[in-house]
Amino acid sequence: MFLLIELYIWRIRSALPRFWLAILALLLISHALRRETPRSLGFRAADFRRGARACAPWVAAVVAAALALGAALRTLRDVTFRWALLSFLVYCAWGLVQQYLLNGYFVNRFAQANARAPALAAACFCLAHLPNWFLMPVTLAGGYAAARVYQAYRNLFLLGLAHGVLGFTIYLVVPDTVTRHLYVGPRWFGG
């Protein structure tokens, strides 16, 4: 599945942009064959509050430090409230998708085969962000932390929200000259 996602990012997306639907279908078939439900994957309300109480201080500390650094370096992006709100909601939705792939699929598959599931899933998450040298270490560390939180609270909504908050903060603070607008694959090169 990882290789198929990478093939889509690097080769298929430009010719067949909707091919992601076939990948999603394969993911859903895999879940059905394993009798995994949305709830068992982490699409549930249970443990959201408990997980949020544990994670919120860490997320808030990272956001505060990033905003302070951005203010000091004068790299804060000038955006309207409407644009910020829309961007934040998009980041949360995309964050939920990425957390589902990272945790609902890869952490669960690696956990069945290996006790090092968080590290293996984080490594895949990092490699999926090639060649973006800025995002790769961010996704390695963030992916590992997210996998550990997932194993503790098994709530993808919590992780999607945290991903959205942190991703939006990166967008606000780190200039595109560094992040390459968070692009990966050939788009990172401008293609």
Closest C-alpha among 38, 30, 39, 165 to residue 106: 30
Residue 6 lies in a domain: no
Asked if residue 110 is part of any domain, the answer here is yes
Residue 26 domain-assigned (yes or no):
no
Decide if 76 contacts 172 (C-beta within 8 A).
yes
Q: Is the pLDDT of residue 94 over 60?
A: yes
Total of domains in the chain: 1
How far apart (Å, rounded) are the C-alpha atoms in residues 33 and 28? 9
- Please say whether the dihedral angle defined by the alpha carbons of residues 132, 73, 161 and 148, taken in this order, is positive or negative: positive
Residue 94 lies in a domain: yes
Token pair of 46 as six digits = 């249970």
34 occurs within a structural domain: no
pTM for this prediction: 0.94
- Say if residues 117 and 147 touch (Cβ distance below 8 Å): yes
Per the domain annotation, does 23 fall within a domain? no
- Write out pLDDT tens, residues 159-183: 999 999 999 999 999 999 999 999 9
- Which residue range is the domain that position 70 belongs to? 40-189
Question: What is the helix (H) or strand (E) element at residue 60, kind and residue range?
Answer: helix 48-73
- Using alpha carbons, list the distances in angstroms from residue 74 to 12, 70, 92, 105, 188: 39, 6, 25, 39, 24
* Any domain includes 84: yes
Return the pLDDT at 190: 85
Task: Report the alpha-carbon distance of residue 173 to residue 71 in Å, rounded.
Answer: 8
**Confidence label for 113 from pLDDT (cuts 50, 70 and 90):** confident
pLDDT band of 191, cuts 50, 70, 90: low
Is residue 4 in some structural domain? no
95-109 pLDDT per residue, tens = 999 999 999 999 999
Between CA 40 and CA 26, with CA 95 as vertex, the angle to 5 degrees is 55
Cβ atoms of residues 31 and 41 within 8 Å: yes
Q: Check whether 34 has a pLDDT greater than 90.
A: yes
